Amino acid sequence: MDTLLTAEIAANAPRYRRKSSTFIDGIHDVSQDANNMAPAQLYSTMSGRLFHSGRIAIVMVGLPARGKTHICVSMARYLQWLGVKTRIFHLGDYRRATVGEGVEVPQDYFYPNASPASVMLRQKILKRCREDIYGWLNHENGQVAIYDAVNPTASGRLALAKEFAKHDVQTLFIESFVDDDEILKENARNVKISSPDFHGMDPDEAAQRYLQRIQTKIPVFETMEEKGLNYVKMKNAGEQFFYNNVSFNYLSHRIVFYLTNLHIKARTTFFVRAGTATEEDSYKADAPLSEEGRAYAEKVAETLLKHREEERQAAIANGAPDHPLRPLSIWTSTRLRTIQTAEPLQKLGYKVRQRSQMSQINPGVCEKLSERAIRSLYPEEVEKHELDPYHHRYPRAESYHDLAVRLEPIILELEREQNDLLIIAHESVLRVLYAYLMHCSTRDIPKLKFPRDEIIEIIPAAYQNEAKRVHIPGLDPKFIPSSPEDIRIPVPGSPSGPSSPIPGLGSPGEPCELVVLSRPPEKVINKAKEMVADKVADED
């Protein structure tokens, strides 16, 4: 392989220079640690591949503004969560690296009768992308390569499947087919925001223009009907699926199952801690909210509703149409304190669903034991725990890994939900769900912090999710930090400073910060944003 080119791509492709942060979705990060197990991995293997499935190339099919990138990013997030080594190869990254940032491809780049120069350029870009795919599958134990491109013609797809087969790679095509004007316009509106060409234009008109431009640029697109290929055709964002199954294997079926729950409509997920209960220390007691807990619940409702309305006004000011807010669903666990934290909102008419899978991590024998007691009773367990806080399980307790496996159905339902969603749960559950949406590493999950004075808002975007923290003003500082509600499982301190092995008990080394009462909502600055700006408008 051309090493110069690889270096060039490394310099230009965002996935190579992304740096981990728990507030930016880590989906495009390349893991440095080969031994890092995924959150809900069923088992570990020497190769890092599931041994009951071969190597798969998932090839995306569909014109721009069909939600392809969103689908492949979501799919990668889910597969990696399940412990399948997955990486996305956006053809656009290779195009940019080849023709240069901001340089347009020739007008006839996508034409069936393109000039020899354009054809050669296209071939060159395709070849480089594919060489990277093979390199990753062959030398880095990759299992699923997701190839994100338009792939508009049947002949091109047949050739691609043949080529992959030669390399002992099974191909599964996933087409996103949209003929619903509303969905197209909505997608186009989301895409065009980043393009200066449409600056200051009426959003509907800009969307229309954008769609027309796609049509002139890519005049030929054949929807999938190839009998001999494995494919999934997703129509209008999940309204209907058609599967042509020549030889689906375990992973293909799993992907199909995931896709039936996926949709490409924008919606936001909020995370909130449950209020404090009267019997903080008991896992089994299932105590009701204390008085402070009730006051907290009122604050949550007030802050959240105010924030949603502000966001809507801001969007309108930005040129979005004056639509009413999306409906908001609320999920709680079946434990009283989470149910009661939802009550103020329920009284306002919001629908609350209780999910039994969302109960907090089971502390097992650690229930009602102080840190000292745990250390003296189970010194060996504490040692093991400190080595691997994610996978270690105290006697009769659940590990975070157990919790993640238990929450997997919730993950699928989370994807299915079309409304905005507020999840009120114990911090342990929030950690695992947050880790899925933001793709955090298992080393970080047990350490993620969700103080009570913040509502976490997760906004999905095509390329990655973004997290935002919304401050809840006017809370008693004592009430805010990770409370004794936490189960008493020691978590090793962060390298930056001493902290209590038991977050629930607080630590003298960790003074409570004084809270500024009216802090503006803090937007997480997404440094990758500029880098991905034209990614969403990709036309490859």
Partner 1 sequence: MAPKTNGIGVQVEDMKICVVMVGLPARGKSYIAQKAQRYLKWLSIPAKTFNVGNYRRTDAPQPSADFFDTNNPEGERKRRAAAEAAVADMLQWFKSGEGVVAILDATNSTKERRKWVLDKVKSEGIEVIFVESKCDDEELIMANIRDVKTTSPDYKGQDPEKAAVDFRDRIRNYEKVYKSINEDGDEDDLTYLKIMNVGKQVIINRIRDYLQSRIVYYLMNLHIRPRSVWLSRHGESMLNIEGRIGGDAGLSHRGEEYAGKLPDLVLESVGSNRPLTVWTSTLKRTIATARHLPKHYNQLQWKALDELDAGVCDGMTYQEIADMYPEDFQARDEDKYNYRYRGGESYRDVVIRLEPIIMELERSEDILIISHQAVIRCIYAYFMQKTQEESPWVPVPLHTLMKLTPRAYGTEVQTFKANIKAVSTWRGKGSTAKHEDPAPDGGV
CB-nearer residue toward partner 1: 160 or 358: 358
> In sequence order, what are the beta bridge partners of 73?
none
Query: Which of 241, 377, 443, 478 is in the footprint of partner 1 by CB under 8 A?
Result: 241
C-alpha span between 368 and 376 (Å, rounded) = 14
CB-nearer residue toward partner 1: 36 or 245: 245
CB-nearer residue toward partner 1: 30 or 42: 42
Site for partner 1 in 209-238 (CB under 8 A): 238
CB-nearer residue toward partner 1: 52 or 323: 52
CA 221 to chain centre: 30
Size of the site for partner 1 (CB under 8 A): 39
C-alpha span between 77 and 461 (Å, rounded) = 13
Q: How many CA atoms lie within 13 A of 161 on its CB side?
A: 19
Does 107 contact partner 1 by CB under 8 A? Answer: no
| Minimal distance, residue 395 CB to partner 1, in Å | 5
Does 268 contact partner 1 by CB under 8 A? Answer: no
For residue 277, the one-letter residue type is: A
Distances (CA, A) of 79 to 38, 251, 412: 9, 9, 12
CB-nearer residue toward partner 1: 245 or 313: 245
Does 284 contact partner 1 by CB under 8 A? Answer: no
Q: Within 10 Å of residue 48's Cβ, how many Cβ atoms?
A: 18
Distances (CA, A) of 128 to 2, 6, 144, 166, 168: 9, 9, 18, 17, 19
Query: Which of 165, 257, 319, 509 is in the footprint of partner 1 by CB under 8 A?
Result: 257
Measured CA angle at 97 (ends 94, 102), to 5 deg? 110
Query: Which of 4, 35, 43, 495 is in the footprint of partner 1 by CB under 8 A?
Result: 43
95 Cβ neighbours under 8 A, 6+ residues apart: 105, 125, 540
CB-nearer residue toward partner 1: 164 or 258: 258
Contact 77, 411 (CB under 8 A): no
Q: Within 10 Å of residue 32's Cβ, how many Cβ atoms?
A: 8
Does 260 contact partner 1 by CB under 8 A? Answer: yes
Query: Which of 155, 313, 334, 376 is in the footprint of partner 1 by CB under 8 A?
Result: 334
CB-nearer residue toward partner 1: 9 or 339: 339
Does 243 contact partner 1 by CB under 8 A? Answer: yes
Q: Which of 93, 148, 453, 486 is catalytic?
A: 148
Which residue's structure tokens are 């993950």?
A: 411
Q: Within 10 Å of residue 185's Cβ, how many Cβ atoms?
A: 18
CB-nearer residue toward partner 1: 405 or 533: 405
Contact 508, 65 (CB under 8 A): no
Q: Within 10 Å of residue 309's Cβ, how many Cβ atoms?
A: 11
| Minimal distance, residue 241 CB to partner 1, in Å | 4
Query: Which of 112, 321, 379, 409 is in the footprint of partner 1 by CB under 8 A?
Result: 409
Whether 148 sits among the annotated catalytic residues: the reply is yes
| Minimal distance, residue 478 CB to partner 1, in Å | 28
Residues in the chain: 540
Query: Which of 123, 212, 223, 245 is in the footprint of partner 1 by CB under 8 A?
Result: 245
Contact 277, 485 (CB under 8 A): yes
| Minimal distance, residue 52 CB to partner 1, in Å | 6
| Minimal distance, residue 81 CB to partner 1, in Å | 15
Site for partner 1 in 441-480 (CB under 8 A): none
Query: Which of 138, 250, 282, 513 is in the footprint of partner 1 by CB under 8 A?
Result: 250
Contact 18, 29 (CB under 8 A): yes
Does 244 contact partner 1 by CB under 8 A? Answer: yes
Nearest to 413, CA basis, from 351, 357, 340:
357
Instruction: Indicate left, alpha or beta for 349 from its phi (over 0: left) and psi (-120 to 50: alpha).
Output: left
Which sequence positions are flagged as catalytic?
Answer: 148
Residues binding partner 1 (CB under 8 A)? 42-45, 51-52, 238-246, 248-250, 253, 256-257, 260-261, 286, 334, 336, 339, 354-356, 393-396, 405, 409, 412-413, 416
